[in-house]
Protein backbone atom coordinates (compact mmCIF):
# COMPACT_ATOMS: atom_id res chain seq x y z
CA UNK A 1 0.00 0.00 0.00
CA UNK A 2 1.30 3.53 -0.76
CA UNK A 3 2.72 5.44 2.21
CA UNK A 4 2.94 9.24 2.13
CA UNK A 5 4.92 11.44 4.54
CA UNK A 6 2.84 14.37 5.78
CA UNK A 7 3.95 17.36 7.84
CA UNK A 8 1.26 17.72 10.56
CA UNK A 9 1.89 21.46 10.86
CA UNK A 10 1.41 21.90 7.10
CA UNK A 11 -1.74 19.79 7.35
CA UNK A 12 -3.12 22.02 10.10
CA UNK A 13 -2.28 25.15 8.10
CA UNK A 14 -3.84 23.90 4.86
CA UNK A 15 -7.02 22.75 6.63
CA UNK A 16 -7.28 25.89 8.80
CA UNK A 17 -7.43 23.71 11.92
CA UNK A 18 -4.43 25.09 13.80
CA UNK A 19 -5.82 23.91 17.15
CA UNK A 20 -6.09 20.24 16.18
CA UNK A 21 -3.82 17.92 18.18
CA UNK A 22 -1.89 15.12 16.49
CA UNK A 23 -4.22 12.53 18.05
CA UNK A 24 -7.29 14.35 16.74
CA UNK A 25 -5.74 14.52 13.28
CA UNK A 26 -5.01 10.79 13.37
CA UNK A 27 -8.65 10.05 14.23
CA UNK A 28 -9.91 12.30 11.43
CA UNK A 29 -7.48 10.72 8.96
CA UNK A 30 -8.53 7.20 9.96
CA UNK A 31 -12.15 8.14 9.18
CA UNK A 32 -10.96 8.94 5.66
CA UNK A 33 -9.30 5.54 5.34
CA UNK A 34 -5.76 6.82 6.01
CA UNK A 35 -3.91 4.76 8.60
CA UNK A 36 -1.16 6.27 10.74
CA UNK A 37 1.97 4.11 10.42
CA UNK A 38 4.40 6.08 12.58
CA UNK A 39 6.68 9.12 12.37
CA UNK A 40 9.81 9.76 10.33
CA UNK A 41 13.00 11.00 11.95
CA UNK A 42 11.97 14.50 10.87
CA UNK A 43 8.64 14.27 12.69
CA UNK A 44 6.50 13.69 9.59
CA UNK A 45 3.44 11.46 9.86
CA UNK A 46 3.58 8.34 7.70
CA UNK A 47 0.11 7.59 6.36
CA UNK A 48 -0.91 4.44 4.52
CA UNK A 49 -3.95 4.46 2.25
CA UNK A 50 -5.69 2.57 -0.50
CA UNK A 51 -3.91 2.92 -3.86
CA UNK A 52 -7.09 4.12 -5.57
CA UNK A 53 -7.04 7.62 -4.02
CA UNK A 54 -3.94 8.95 -5.76
CA UNK A 55 -5.10 12.53 -5.18
CA UNK A 56 -4.04 11.97 -1.55
CA UNK A 57 -0.39 11.36 -2.36
CA UNK A 58 0.50 14.79 -0.96
CA UNK A 59 -0.30 16.91 2.07
CA UNK A 60 -2.33 19.17 -0.23
CA UNK A 61 -4.57 16.31 -1.32
CA UNK A 62 -4.99 14.99 2.23
CA UNK A 63 -5.88 18.50 3.44
CA UNK A 64 -8.48 18.84 0.66
CA UNK A 65 -10.18 15.61 1.76
CA UNK A 66 -10.17 16.73 5.39
CA UNK A 67 -11.75 20.09 4.53
CA UNK A 68 -14.58 18.23 2.84
CA UNK A 69 -14.91 15.94 5.84
CA UNK A 70 -15.07 18.92 8.19
CA UNK A 71 -17.73 20.53 5.99
CA UNK A 72 -15.57 23.57 5.27
CA UNK A 73 -15.59 22.82 1.52
CA UNK A 74 -18.46 21.37 -0.45
CA UNK A 75 -19.07 20.11 -3.95
CA UNK A 76 -16.85 19.97 -7.01
CA UNK A 77 -14.04 22.52 -7.20
CA UNK A 78 -12.39 23.23 -10.55
CA UNK A 79 -9.52 25.76 -10.56
CA UNK A 80 -9.86 28.69 -12.92
CA UNK A 81 -7.41 28.56 -15.82
CA UNK A 82 -5.86 31.33 -17.89
CA UNK A 83 -5.67 31.17 -21.67
CA UNK A 84 -2.54 29.54 -23.10
CA UNK A 85 0.59 31.55 -23.79
CA UNK A 86 2.83 28.49 -24.23
CA UNK A 87 2.65 25.71 -26.80
CA UNK A 88 4.21 22.24 -26.93
CA UNK A 89 5.04 21.36 -30.52
CA UNK A 90 5.09 17.58 -31.05
CA UNK A 91 7.57 16.71 -33.79
CA UNK A 92 7.05 13.71 -36.07
CA UNK A 93 10.38 12.34 -34.85
CA UNK A 94 8.94 11.56 -31.39
CA UNK A 95 9.50 7.84 -30.59
CA UNK A 96 6.49 5.67 -31.37
CA UNK A 97 6.99 4.01 -27.97
CA UNK A 98 6.30 7.30 -26.14
CA UNK A 99 4.07 9.43 -28.36
CA UNK A 100 2.01 11.44 -25.86
CA UNK A 101 2.68 14.68 -24.02
CA UNK A 102 0.71 17.10 -21.87
CA UNK A 103 1.47 20.02 -19.60
CA UNK A 104 0.50 23.18 -17.76
CA UNK A 105 1.99 26.51 -16.74
CA UNK A 106 1.83 27.40 -13.05
CA UNK A 107 1.86 31.09 -12.10
CA UNK A 108 2.50 32.52 -8.64
CA UNK A 109 3.49 29.32 -6.85
CA UNK A 110 4.47 29.90 -3.22
CA UNK A 111 6.89 27.11 -2.46
CA UNK A 112 8.28 26.96 1.04
CA UNK A 113 10.82 24.25 1.84
CA UNK A 114 7.96 22.03 3.06
CA UNK A 115 5.88 22.85 -0.01
CA UNK A 116 8.71 21.98 -2.40
CA UNK A 117 9.35 18.70 -0.56
CA UNK A 118 5.64 17.87 -0.82
CA UNK A 119 5.51 18.50 -4.58
CA UNK A 120 8.65 16.42 -5.16
CA UNK A 121 7.16 13.59 -3.08
CA UNK A 122 3.90 13.80 -5.04
CA UNK A 123 5.85 13.66 -8.30
CA UNK A 124 7.75 10.52 -7.26
CA UNK A 125 4.67 8.81 -5.78
CA UNK A 126 2.76 9.39 -9.02
CA UNK A 127 5.73 7.97 -10.92
CA UNK A 128 5.62 4.83 -8.78
CA UNK A 129 1.83 4.33 -9.06
CA UNK A 130 -0.01 5.73 -12.09
CA UNK A 131 3.24 6.17 -14.00
CA UNK A 132 4.36 2.57 -13.35
CA UNK A 133 7.86 3.63 -12.40
CA UNK A 134 7.91 6.22 -15.22
CA UNK A 135 7.17 3.65 -17.93
CA UNK A 136 3.57 4.74 -18.53
CA UNK A 137 3.97 8.36 -17.49
CA UNK A 138 6.70 10.69 -16.22
CA UNK A 139 6.56 14.24 -14.86
CA UNK A 140 9.02 17.08 -15.36
CA UNK A 141 8.65 20.31 -13.38
CA UNK A 142 10.75 23.30 -14.50
CA UNK A 143 11.42 26.89 -13.47
CA UNK A 144 9.59 28.77 -16.22
CA UNK A 145 11.85 31.82 -15.95
CA UNK A 146 14.77 29.69 -17.12
CA UNK A 147 13.01 28.67 -20.34
CA UNK A 148 13.24 30.69 -23.53
CA UNK A 149 10.35 29.80 -25.75
CA UNK A 150 10.55 29.98 -29.51
CA UNK A 151 8.24 32.69 -30.89
CA UNK A 152 5.10 31.45 -32.63
CA UNK A 153 5.04 33.65 -35.67
CA UNK A 154 2.70 36.63 -35.91
CA UNK A 155 0.25 35.38 -33.27
CA UNK A 156 2.93 35.58 -30.58
CA UNK A 157 3.33 33.23 -27.65
CA UNK A 158 6.12 30.83 -26.77
CA UNK A 159 6.74 27.24 -27.70
CA UNK A 160 8.89 24.29 -26.74
CA UNK A 161 9.33 21.17 -28.85
CA UNK A 162 8.94 17.50 -27.95
CA UNK A 163 10.98 15.39 -30.37
CA UNK A 164 13.06 12.23 -30.75
CA UNK A 165 16.86 12.52 -31.05
CA UNK A 166 19.94 10.39 -31.51
CA UNK A 167 21.10 9.16 -28.05
CA UNK A 168 24.63 10.26 -28.96
CA UNK A 169 23.44 13.67 -30.17
CA UNK A 170 22.90 16.94 -28.31
CA UNK A 171 24.19 17.41 -24.77
CA UNK A 172 22.89 19.13 -21.64
CA UNK A 173 23.78 19.41 -17.96
CA UNK A 174 21.49 17.03 -16.06
CA UNK A 175 20.30 17.48 -12.49
CA UNK A 176 22.97 16.57 -9.92
CA UNK A 177 25.65 16.82 -12.59
CA UNK A 178 28.26 19.44 -13.41
CA UNK A 179 29.15 18.56 -17.00
CA UNK A 180 27.54 18.32 -20.40
CA UNK A 181 26.25 14.82 -21.19
CA UNK A 182 24.47 13.31 -24.16
CA UNK A 183 21.39 11.15 -23.39
CA UNK A 184 23.52 8.03 -23.96
CA UNK A 185 26.13 9.29 -21.47
CA UNK A 186 23.38 10.04 -18.94
CA UNK A 187 22.18 6.43 -19.21
CA UNK A 188 25.72 5.11 -18.78
CA UNK A 189 27.25 7.48 -16.20
CA UNK A 190 24.51 9.25 -14.21
CA UNK A 191 22.94 7.36 -11.24
CA UNK A 192 19.41 8.39 -12.23
CA UNK A 193 20.13 7.49 -15.85
CA UNK A 194 21.35 4.05 -14.85
CA UNK A 195 18.21 3.52 -12.75
CA UNK A 196 15.80 4.25 -15.61
CA UNK A 197 17.92 3.19 -18.58
CA UNK A 198 15.81 0.09 -19.22
CA UNK A 199 12.79 2.24 -20.15
CA UNK A 200 14.45 3.66 -23.26
CA UNK A 201 17.02 0.92 -23.89
CA UNK A 202 15.25 -0.36 -27.03
CA UNK A 203 14.45 3.08 -28.48
CA UNK A 204 16.20 4.02 -31.76
CA UNK A 205 15.57 7.67 -30.89
CA UNK A 206 15.12 8.90 -27.32
CA UNK A 207 12.54 11.47 -26.17
CA UNK A 208 13.79 15.04 -25.65
CA UNK A 209 12.29 18.46 -25.01
CA UNK A 210 13.86 21.65 -26.39
CA UNK A 211 13.40 25.39 -25.97
CA UNK A 212 15.17 28.03 -28.03
CA UNK A 213 18.37 27.55 -25.99
CA UNK A 214 18.49 23.81 -26.57
CA UNK A 215 17.83 20.50 -24.81
CA UNK A 216 16.51 20.93 -21.25
CA UNK A 217 14.65 17.68 -20.49
CA UNK A 218 15.29 14.01 -21.23
CA UNK A 219 12.01 12.29 -20.34
CA UNK A 220 11.32 9.91 -18.71
CA UNK A 221 14.81 9.89 -17.21
CA UNK A 222 15.91 13.30 -15.92
CA UNK A 223 15.52 17.08 -16.25
CA UNK A 224 18.24 19.57 -17.03
CA UNK A 225 19.97 21.51 -14.29
CA UNK A 226 19.21 24.84 -16.04
CA UNK A 227 15.49 24.64 -15.18
CA UNK A 228 15.82 23.19 -11.67
CA UNK A 229 13.04 24.29 -9.31
CA UNK A 230 13.85 25.91 -5.95
CA UNK A 231 11.96 27.70 -3.20
CA UNK A 232 12.59 30.94 -5.13
CA UNK A 233 10.70 29.63 -8.17
CA UNK A 234 7.33 31.30 -8.66
CA UNK A 235 6.37 30.35 -12.22
CA UNK A 236 6.65 26.71 -13.27
CA UNK A 237 6.30 24.67 -16.44
CA UNK A 238 4.93 21.16 -15.90
CA UNK A 239 5.39 18.64 -18.72
CA UNK A 240 4.46 14.98 -18.81
CA UNK A 241 5.22 12.35 -21.42
CA UNK A 242 4.02 8.78 -21.62
CA UNK A 243 2.47 5.85 -23.42
CA UNK A 244 -1.14 6.73 -22.60
CA UNK A 245 -2.80 10.16 -22.92
CA UNK A 246 -5.46 9.53 -20.25
CA UNK A 247 -2.84 8.55 -17.68
CA UNK A 248 -0.58 11.58 -18.12
CA UNK A 249 -3.57 13.95 -18.32
CA UNK A 250 -4.81 12.78 -14.92
CA UNK A 251 -1.34 12.81 -13.39
CA UNK A 252 -1.12 16.42 -14.58
CA UNK A 253 -4.50 17.22 -12.99
CA UNK A 254 -3.36 15.91 -9.60
CA UNK A 255 -0.16 18.02 -9.77
CA UNK A 256 -2.13 21.12 -10.79
CA UNK A 257 -4.65 20.74 -7.96
CA UNK A 258 -1.82 20.38 -5.42
CA UNK A 259 -0.14 23.59 -6.64
CA UNK A 260 -3.48 25.42 -6.80
CA UNK A 261 -3.94 24.55 -3.11
CA UNK A 262 -0.83 26.69 -2.45
CA UNK A 263 -2.31 29.73 -4.17
CA UNK A 264 -0.96 29.17 -7.69
CA UNK A 265 -2.86 30.04 -10.86
CA UNK A 266 -3.12 27.43 -13.61
CA UNK A 267 -2.43 28.50 -17.19
CA UNK A 268 -3.39 26.29 -20.10
CA UNK A 269 -0.93 24.97 -22.67
CA UNK A 270 -1.62 24.13 -26.30
CA UNK A 271 -0.29 20.78 -27.50
CA UNK A 272 0.15 20.67 -31.27
CA UNK A 273 0.26 17.08 -32.54
CA UNK A 274 0.79 16.44 -36.26
CA UNK A 275 -2.83 15.23 -36.27
CA UNK A 276 -4.38 18.15 -34.40
CA UNK A 277 -4.31 20.51 -31.40
CA UNK A 278 -5.39 19.90 -27.81
CA UNK A 279 -5.60 22.34 -24.89
CA UNK A 280 -4.28 21.09 -21.56
CA UNK A 281 -4.74 20.52 -18.66
CA UNK A 282 -8.07 18.81 -19.22
CA UNK A 283 -10.27 19.75 -16.26
CA UNK A 284 -13.38 18.07 -17.64
CA UNK A 285 -15.93 17.12 -14.97
CA UNK A 286 -17.24 13.60 -15.57
CA UNK A 287 -20.67 12.36 -14.51
CA UNK A 288 -21.71 9.03 -13.03
CA UNK A 289 -25.15 7.89 -11.98
CA UNK A 290 -26.46 5.81 -9.11
CA UNK A 291 -29.93 5.04 -7.77
CA UNK A 292 -31.10 6.02 -4.30
CA UNK A 293 -32.16 2.42 -3.68
CA UNK A 294 -28.61 1.15 -4.34
CA UNK A 295 -27.17 3.62 -1.82
CA UNK A 296 -29.64 2.67 0.90
CA UNK A 297 -29.37 -1.07 0.21
CA UNK A 298 -25.58 -1.14 0.21
CA UNK A 299 -25.20 1.00 3.34
CA UNK A 300 -28.25 -0.21 5.26
CA UNK A 301 -29.46 3.36 5.76
CA UNK A 302 -32.65 5.29 5.24
CA UNK A 303 -31.80 8.67 3.73
CA UNK A 304 -33.94 11.35 2.18
CA UNK A 305 -32.98 13.06 -1.06
CA UNK A 306 -31.48 16.19 0.50
CA UNK A 307 -29.42 14.18 3.01
CA UNK A 308 -27.96 12.13 0.17
CA UNK A 309 -27.06 15.19 -1.91
CA UNK A 310 -25.49 16.75 1.19
CA UNK A 311 -23.32 13.64 1.71
CA UNK A 312 -22.22 13.75 -1.93
CA UNK A 313 -21.21 17.40 -1.55
CA UNK A 314 -19.26 16.60 1.61
CA UNK A 315 -17.35 14.03 -0.48
CA UNK A 316 -16.22 16.70 -2.96
CA UNK A 317 -18.86 15.71 -5.51
CA UNK A 318 -21.94 17.45 -6.90
CA UNK A 319 -25.23 15.63 -7.28
CA UNK A 320 -28.68 16.36 -8.56
CA UNK A 321 -31.74 14.18 -8.59
CA UNK A 322 -32.63 12.59 -11.93
CA UNK A 323 -36.18 11.58 -12.75
CA UNK A 324 -35.71 8.19 -14.41
CA UNK A 325 -33.40 5.66 -12.77
CA UNK A 326 -33.83 3.25 -15.66
CA UNK A 327 -32.16 5.79 -17.94
CA UNK A 328 -29.32 6.81 -15.64
CA UNK A 329 -28.34 3.47 -14.11
CA UNK A 330 -28.74 0.83 -16.79
CA UNK A 331 -27.12 -1.80 -14.57
CA UNK A 332 -30.14 -1.64 -12.24
CA UNK A 333 -32.94 -1.87 -14.79
CA UNK A 334 -34.52 -4.71 -12.81
CA UNK A 335 -34.62 -2.56 -9.68
CA UNK A 336 -35.36 0.78 -11.33
CA UNK A 337 -37.17 3.35 -9.22
CA UNK A 338 -38.11 7.01 -9.54
CA UNK A 339 -35.16 8.53 -7.67
CA UNK A 340 -31.57 8.47 -8.87
CA UNK A 341 -28.66 10.91 -8.86
CA UNK A 342 -26.44 12.29 -11.57
CA UNK A 343 -23.13 12.84 -9.81
CA UNK A 344 -20.36 15.17 -11.03
CA UNK A 345 -16.82 13.88 -10.45
CA UNK A 346 -13.85 16.32 -10.26
CA UNK A 347 -10.87 15.97 -12.63
CA UNK A 348 -8.44 14.75 -9.95
CA UNK A 349 -10.56 11.72 -8.96
CA UNK A 350 -9.20 8.81 -11.01
CA UNK A 351 -10.80 6.20 -8.74
CA UNK A 352 -14.50 6.71 -9.56
CA UNK A 353 -15.20 4.01 -12.12
CA UNK A 354 -18.53 2.52 -11.03
CA UNK A 355 -21.68 3.47 -9.06
CA UNK A 356 -20.30 1.46 -6.12
CA UNK A 357 -17.48 4.02 -5.83
CA UNK A 358 -20.14 6.71 -5.33
CA UNK A 359 -21.82 4.62 -2.64
CA UNK A 360 -18.46 4.29 -0.87
CA UNK A 361 -18.06 8.09 -0.85
CA UNK A 362 -21.53 8.53 0.65
CA UNK A 363 -20.72 5.94 3.33
CA UNK A 364 -17.47 7.66 4.28
CA UNK A 365 -19.15 11.06 4.46
CA UNK A 366 -21.87 9.57 6.67
CA UNK A 367 -19.23 7.78 8.77
CA UNK A 368 -18.85 4.02 8.61
CA UNK A 369 -18.40 4.02 12.39
CA UNK A 370 -21.90 5.48 12.65
CA UNK A 371 -23.52 2.53 10.86
CA UNK A 372 -25.54 0.32 13.21
CA UNK A 373 -24.97 -3.45 12.69
CA UNK A 374 -28.12 -5.51 12.20
CA UNK A 375 -28.96 -9.06 11.26
CA UNK A 376 -29.92 -9.56 7.62
CA UNK A 377 -33.58 -10.25 6.91
CA UNK A 378 -33.10 -13.92 5.97
CA UNK A 379 -34.23 -17.20 7.50
CA UNK A 380 -30.85 -18.89 7.95
CA UNK A 381 -27.92 -18.42 10.30
CA UNK A 382 -24.40 -18.53 8.93
CA UNK A 383 -21.62 -20.74 10.19
CA UNK A 384 -18.01 -21.53 9.46
CA UNK A 385 -17.20 -23.45 6.31
CA UNK A 386 -15.15 -26.60 6.90
CA UNK A 387 -12.27 -25.04 4.91
CA UNK A 388 -12.28 -22.02 7.22
CA UNK A 389 -12.38 -24.28 10.26
CA UNK A 390 -9.37 -26.23 8.99
CA UNK A 391 -7.45 -23.01 8.29
CA UNK A 392 -8.13 -21.63 11.75
CA UNK A 393 -7.03 -24.90 13.38
CA UNK A 394 -3.79 -24.94 11.36
CA UNK A 395 -3.13 -21.31 12.22
CA UNK A 396 -3.58 -22.01 15.94
CA UNK A 397 -1.19 -24.95 15.73
CA UNK A 398 1.45 -22.84 13.98
CA UNK A 399 1.17 -20.11 16.61
CA UNK A 400 1.45 -22.78 19.29
CA UNK A 401 4.67 -23.96 17.64
CA UNK A 402 6.16 -20.49 18.05
CA UNK A 403 5.45 -18.99 14.64
CA UNK A 404 4.27 -15.42 14.15
CA UNK A 405 1.16 -15.48 11.98
CA UNK A 406 1.32 -13.23 8.88
CA UNK A 407 -1.16 -11.98 6.31
CA UNK A 408 0.53 -10.85 3.10
CA UNK A 409 -0.84 -9.67 -0.24
CA UNK A 410 -1.87 -12.38 -2.65
CA UNK A 411 -0.47 -10.34 -5.51
CA UNK A 412 3.25 -10.13 -6.20
CA UNK A 413 5.67 -9.38 -9.01
CA UNK A 414 7.18 -12.04 -11.25
CA UNK A 415 10.62 -10.98 -10.08
CA UNK A 416 9.78 -11.70 -6.43
CA UNK A 417 7.80 -14.86 -7.14
CA UNK A 418 10.31 -16.50 -9.48
CA UNK A 419 13.58 -14.70 -10.24
CA UNK A 420 14.69 -13.85 -6.70
CA UNK A 421 13.78 -17.39 -5.59
CA UNK A 422 15.71 -18.81 -8.60
CA UNK A 423 12.62 -20.67 -9.79
CA UNK A 424 11.65 -20.92 -13.45
CA UNK A 425 8.05 -20.08 -14.32
CA UNK A 426 6.31 -23.13 -15.72
CA UNK A 427 8.62 -25.63 -13.99
CA UNK A 428 7.24 -28.57 -12.01
CA UNK A 429 8.76 -27.62 -8.64
CA UNK A 430 6.75 -26.16 -5.77
CA UNK A 431 6.03 -22.53 -6.70
CA UNK A 432 6.94 -23.04 -10.34
CA UNK A 433 3.44 -22.97 -11.84
CA UNK A 434 2.53 -20.83 -14.83
CA UNK A 435 1.80 -17.31 -13.59
CA UNK A 436 -1.71 -15.87 -13.35
CA UNK A 437 -0.83 -12.44 -14.71
CA UNK A 438 -2.79 -9.19 -14.58
CA UNK A 439 -3.36 -7.83 -18.08
CA UNK A 440 -3.07 -4.16 -17.06
CA UNK A 441 -1.32 -4.09 -13.66
CA UNK A 442 -1.54 -0.83 -11.73
CA UNK A 443 1.94 -1.29 -10.30
CA UNK A 444 4.98 -3.29 -11.37
CA UNK A 445 5.15 -4.59 -7.81
CA UNK A 446 1.86 -6.47 -8.26
CA UNK A 447 1.67 -8.07 -11.69
CA UNK A 448 0.39 -11.57 -10.87
CA UNK A 449 -1.12 -13.81 -8.22
CA UNK A 450 1.60 -15.56 -6.26
CA UNK A 451 2.14 -19.23 -7.05
CA UNK A 452 3.45 -19.93 -3.53
CA UNK A 453 3.75 -18.09 -0.22
CA UNK A 454 7.46 -18.53 0.63
CA UNK A 455 8.51 -15.49 -1.49
CA UNK A 456 6.18 -13.37 0.65
CA UNK A 457 7.87 -14.60 3.84
CA UNK A 458 11.32 -13.91 2.36
CA UNK A 459 10.24 -10.33 1.55
CA UNK A 460 9.11 -9.86 5.15
CA UNK A 461 12.45 -11.16 6.43
CA UNK A 462 14.26 -8.85 4.01
CA UNK A 463 12.35 -5.84 5.35
CA UNK A 464 13.01 -6.76 8.98
CA UNK A 465 16.76 -7.30 9.15
CA UNK A 466 16.86 -4.50 11.75
CA UNK A 467 14.61 -6.55 14.08
CA UNK A 468 15.97 -8.98 16.66
CA UNK A 469 16.31 -12.68 15.87
CA UNK A 470 15.11 -15.41 15.89
CA UNK A 471 12.28 -14.60 13.49
CA UNK A 472 9.90 -17.54 13.00
CA UNK A 473 7.21 -16.60 10.47
CA UNK A 474 4.26 -18.51 9.04
CA UNK A 475 1.39 -17.77 6.70
CA UNK A 476 -1.68 -19.56 5.42
CA UNK A 477 -3.02 -17.94 2.27
CA UNK A 478 -3.94 -18.10 -1.38
CA UNK A 479 -1.71 -19.40 -4.16
CA UNK A 480 -2.68 -19.79 -7.80
CA UNK A 481 -1.35 -20.90 -11.16
CA UNK A 482 -2.59 -21.21 -14.74
CA UNK A 483 -4.48 -24.43 -15.45
CA UNK A 484 -6.34 -24.77 -18.73
CA UNK A 485 -8.35 -27.69 -17.38
CA UNK A 486 -10.18 -25.35 -14.98
CA UNK A 487 -13.26 -23.41 -16.14
CA UNK A 488 -11.53 -20.16 -15.21
CA UNK A 489 -8.12 -21.33 -16.50
CA UNK A 490 -6.85 -20.70 -12.96
CA UNK A 491 -6.23 -23.30 -10.24
CA UNK A 492 -6.34 -21.84 -6.72
CA UNK A 493 -5.43 -23.46 -3.43
CA UNK A 494 -4.66 -22.52 0.17
CA UNK A 495 -1.04 -22.98 1.07
CA UNK A 496 0.85 -23.24 4.38
CA UNK A 497 4.35 -21.74 4.56
CA UNK A 498 6.77 -21.37 7.44
CA UNK A 499 10.28 -19.90 7.74
CA UNK A 500 12.76 -19.96 10.63
CA UNK A 501 15.47 -17.28 10.47
CA UNK A 502 18.11 -17.73 13.17
CA UNK A 503 21.85 -18.26 13.44
CA UNK A 504 21.46 -22.04 13.86
CA UNK A 505 18.46 -22.76 11.59
CA UNK A 506 18.71 -26.20 9.96
CA UNK A 507 16.68 -28.62 7.89
CA UNK A 508 15.96 -30.59 11.08
CA UNK A 509 14.38 -27.50 12.72
CA UNK A 510 11.96 -26.99 9.85
CA UNK A 511 11.15 -30.68 9.62
CA UNK A 512 10.59 -30.88 13.39
CA UNK A 513 8.00 -28.10 13.27
CA UNK A 514 6.37 -29.75 10.28
CA UNK A 515 6.20 -33.11 12.08
CA UNK A 516 4.58 -31.50 15.11
CA UNK A 517 1.99 -29.82 12.89
CA UNK A 518 1.17 -33.09 11.15
CA UNK A 519 0.77 -34.86 14.51
CA UNK A 520 -1.81 -32.26 15.52
CA UNK A 521 -3.90 -33.31 12.54
CA UNK A 522 -3.20 -37.03 12.80
CA UNK A 523 -1.69 -37.31 9.32
CA UNK A 524 1.39 -39.27 8.28
CA UNK A 525 4.44 -37.29 7.14
CA UNK A 526 7.24 -38.57 4.90
CA UNK A 527 10.19 -36.53 3.63
CA UNK A 528 11.99 -38.24 0.73
CA UNK A 529 14.95 -36.42 -0.78
CA UNK A 530 14.23 -34.11 -3.70
CA UNK A 531 15.69 -31.13 -5.55
CA UNK A 532 14.46 -27.55 -5.58
CA UNK A 533 16.36 -24.47 -6.86
CA UNK A 534 15.39 -22.37 -3.82
CA UNK A 535 16.96 -24.83 -1.38
CA UNK A 536 20.42 -26.28 -0.72
CA UNK A 537 21.00 -29.61 -2.54
CA UNK A 538 21.11 -32.45 -0.04
CA UNK A 539 19.30 -30.33 2.56
CA UNK A 540 15.87 -30.39 0.94
CA UNK A 541 13.04 -32.94 0.88
CA UNK A 542 9.58 -33.35 -0.56
CA UNK A 543 6.64 -33.08 1.84
CA UNK A 544 4.55 -36.24 1.44
CA UNK A 545 1.40 -36.39 3.57
CA UNK A 546 -0.67 -39.58 3.65
CA UNK A 547 1.17 -40.80 0.55
CA UNK A 548 0.67 -37.66 -1.58
CA UNK A 549 3.44 -35.22 -2.44
CA UNK A 550 2.14 -31.78 -1.44
CA UNK A 551 5.14 -29.53 -0.72
CA UNK A 552 8.80 -29.02 0.10
CA UNK A 553 10.97 -28.52 3.21
CA UNK A 554 14.62 -27.59 3.55
CA UNK A 555 17.36 -25.01 4.08
CA UNK A 556 17.06 -21.97 1.84
CA UNK A 557 19.90 -21.69 -0.68
CA UNK A 558 22.59 -19.05 0.05
CA UNK A 559 22.02 -17.41 -3.34
CA UNK A 560 18.39 -16.78 -2.34
CA UNK A 561 19.52 -15.40 1.02
CA UNK A 562 21.91 -13.02 -0.75
CA UNK A 563 19.11 -11.88 -3.05
CA UNK A 564 17.17 -10.86 0.08
CA UNK A 565 20.13 -9.33 1.97
CA UNK A 566 19.89 -11.95 4.71
CA UNK A 567 23.01 -12.83 6.69
CA UNK A 568 21.51 -15.68 8.76
CA UNK A 569 20.45 -19.14 7.56
CA UNK A 570 16.76 -19.76 6.92
CA UNK A 571 14.98 -23.11 7.06
CA UNK A 572 11.52 -23.25 5.53
CA UNK A 573 8.64 -25.41 4.36
CA UNK A 574 5.53 -25.04 2.24
CA UNK A 575 2.67 -27.42 1.47
CA UNK A 576 -1.00 -27.46 0.51
CA UNK A 577 -3.39 -26.84 3.39
CA UNK A 578 -5.94 -29.41 2.19
CA UNK A 579 -3.38 -32.17 2.89
CA UNK A 580 -4.27 -31.76 6.59
CA UNK A 581 -7.99 -32.34 6.04
CA UNK A 582 -9.76 -35.54 7.12
CA UNK A 583 -10.72 -37.66 4.13
Contact predicate 422/533, CB 8 Å: yes
Q: Binding site annotation covers 360?
A: yes
Sign of CA dihedral 291, 296, 302, 306: negative
Q: Are strands 158-165 and 81-90 parallel, antiparallel or unpaired?
A: parallel
Strand 490-501 relative to strand 570-576, pairing: antiparallel
Cβ-Cβ contacts under 8 Å for 418 (sequence gap 6 or more)? 424, 425, 431, 432, 435
* DSSP string for 291-333: EHHHHHHHHT----HHHHHHHHHTTT-EEEEES-HHHH-GGGG
351 assigned binding-site residue = yes
d(CA 21, CA 11): 11
Antiparallel, parallel or unpaired: β 490-501 and 525-526: unpaired
Cα 345 from chain centroid?
A: 21
How far is the CA of 563 from the CAs of 28, 87, 108, in angstroms? 40, 47, 48
- 9: enclosing H helix or E strand: helix 8-15
CA distance 107 to 410: 45
Write the DSSP assignment of 405-422 as a string of letters: EE---SEE-HHHHTGGGT
| Strand 206-211 with 214-218, pairing | antiparallel
Q: What is the CA radius of gyration of the chain?
A: 28
Task: Return the closest-CA partner of residue 418 out of 408, 427, 409, 407.
Answer: 427
357 marked among binding-site residues: yes
- DSSP secondary structure letter of residue 442: S
| 28 assigned binding-site residue | no
Return the SS3 of 51.
coil
User: CB burial class (10 A; 0-12, 13-18, 19+) of residue 293?
Assistant: middle
Q: Which residues are annotated binding-site positions?
A: 351, 357, 360-361
Residues tagged in the binding site annotation for Mg(2+)? 351, 357, 360-361
Amino acid sequence: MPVVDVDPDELRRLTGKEDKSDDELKDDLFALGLEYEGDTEDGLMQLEFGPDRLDRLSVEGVARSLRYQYGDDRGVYVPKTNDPDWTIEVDESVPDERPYVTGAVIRGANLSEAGLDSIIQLQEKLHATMGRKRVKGAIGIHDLTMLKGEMLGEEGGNSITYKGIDPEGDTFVALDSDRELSPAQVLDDHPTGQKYADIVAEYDRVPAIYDELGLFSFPPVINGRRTEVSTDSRDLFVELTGTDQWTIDHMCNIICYALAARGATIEQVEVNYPSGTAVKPDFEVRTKTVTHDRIETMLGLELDEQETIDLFERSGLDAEAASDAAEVDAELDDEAEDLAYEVSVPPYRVDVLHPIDLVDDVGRAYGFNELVPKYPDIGTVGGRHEHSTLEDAARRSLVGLGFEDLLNFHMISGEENYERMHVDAGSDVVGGGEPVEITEPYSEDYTQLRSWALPSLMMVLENNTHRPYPQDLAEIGLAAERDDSENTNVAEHRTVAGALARFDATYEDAKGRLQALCRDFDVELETPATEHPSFIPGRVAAVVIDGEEVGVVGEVHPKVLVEHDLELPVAAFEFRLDALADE
